[in-house]
Amino acid sequence: MATRLILFGPPGAGKGTQARRLVESLGIPQISTGDILRQAKAEGTPMGQKAAGYMNAGKLVPDEVVVGIVEERLEKDDAQGGWILDGFPRTLPQAEALDAMLGRRGEAIDRVLSLEVPDEPIVARLSGRRSCPECKAGYHVTFDPPAKEGICNECGATLIQRDDDRPEAIRERLKTFHDQTAPLEQYYENKGLLARVDGEGGIDEVTRRIQSALGG
């Protein structure tokens, strides 16, 4: 039986890690809209060519084109047993367009997983990241600090904090996420599809909660 999932979660909630575990345990692909937009553009698919026109002009790709690219991806062999949508839908019109497209295909979403982590732990988690500008090694001031504070273990360069990892930038990203996602969560809750999963704690612990939400 196919398993068709949508995965929500704020930046820094551990969504990528949990998505990879779902891919391994369920044997279905993770479909990230950013990745498939770039891939469709590179492959020159009909929808990819449409998207390229907008992307090359620095414009947002319209919903109907994004949905068309998602549909192209869902037609590939590896997605016939199900899929995990990551980063889509982002808006109510996209959710409605996705439902209409799946309806034409005789398919439906099985579960929408919302990985929930309060804002402040996310700010602490993301703002602690440091990276090496030379060799690109990554560190975390709390969870994976370098041997010498502020210095890369690998090449000795001075570590930096990316602009988008600064607390004020993280809070702005979180606000955008909440503004976009709150109506979507309500939409899927009304359909009885939403499962809220506590994303705090160890990785294995969160994985067990997701399995429980999926009835495993």
173 as an active site residue: the answer is yes
55 — pLDDT class (breaks 50, 70, 90): confident
Catalytic residue, candidates 73, 129, 130, 209:
129
Q: Where are the alpha helices (DSSP H) in 44-166?
A: 46-56, 63-74, 92-104, 119-127
Walk me through the domains of the chain, giving residue ranges and CATH numbers: 3-28+81-213 (3.40.50.300)
Q: Which of 4, 15, 50, 209 is catalytic?
A: 15
Is 4 among the catalytic positions?
no
Q: Which of 29-38, 116-125, 166-175, 191-200 has the lowest mean pLDDT?
A: 29-38
Cβ proximity of 6 and 109 under 8 Å: yes
Q: Is 50 a catalytic residue?
A: no
The per-residue b/e assignment along 157-187, b for 16 or more CB within 10 angstroms, e otherwise, is eebeeeeebeeeebeebbeebeeebeebbeb
> How many residues make up the chain in this entry?
216
Q: At a CB cut-off of 8 Å and minimum separation 6, what does 43 contact?
A: none
pTM for the full model? 0.84
